[in-house]
Amino acid sequence: MARVIRGRAWVLGDNISTDHIISGKYKFAKINKLEDMLPYVFEEVIPEFYKKVQPGDVIVAGRGFGYGSSREHAPRLLKLAGVGAVLAKSFHRIFYRNSINIGLPVIIVQRIPEVTEQGDEIEVDLEVGVVRNVTKGVEERFQPPPQQLLEILEAGGIVEYIKKMNRLPW
């Protein structure tokens, strides 16, 4: 993961649940690999999202992003699909923590969701703590994550970070 993320905006509203990201109906489906769930990401919100999203693209949403199930599938599938970061006015805590744990940057911003339109170019500088809507020429500052959290994100999540720090063989 780069400390500067740049991609197109995918704009969503308030209260996007984990079921909006990946429906719970697939929880017990006979799907052997997480990758096989990609066609179902945002299937009812953004049809064929998995075909349209490009590496580094950014989700921009309103309040309450990620409420619902505590399944880690939702942030893992967003990351696997190529989403570089999720920006929202607020996150539900379990989704927020799961995202950090798997190495998906989640940033709380207030102004960017108000001015961003679908397809705008967004740049997120995690180290400096600034989000720019390059298309609109608007920027918003946020408290940059502490160095250790940046290292966790850069490593690809907490498990990879611990492996790297402890030089564990697994």
Considering only CA atoms, which of 129, 116, 142, 102 is closest in space to residue 62?
Answer: 116
| Average pLDDT across the chain, whole number | 92
pLDDT of residue 166: 79
Instruction: For residue range 21-32, list pLDDT tens digits in order.
Output: 998 776 656 667
pLDDT of residue 133: 98
**How many domains are contained in the chain?**
1
In Å, what is the CA distance from 113 to each residue of 47, 62, 71, 77, 89? 21, 6, 25, 22, 7
> Quick one: DSSP state of residue 65?
B
Domain, as residue range, for 93: 4-166
Q: Sheet of 138-141: strands edge to edge?
A: 106-108, 85-88, 58-61, 4-11, 121-125, 130-133, 138-141
Report the range of poorest mean pLDDT among 86-90, 137-141, 150-154.
150-154
Query: What CATH number corresponds to the domain at position 157?
Result: 3.20.19.10
Considering only CA atoms, which of 107, 109, 108, 99 is closest in space to residue 152?
Answer: 99
How far apart (Å, rounded) are the C-alpha atoms in residues 123 and 74? 23
pLDDT of residue 27: 64
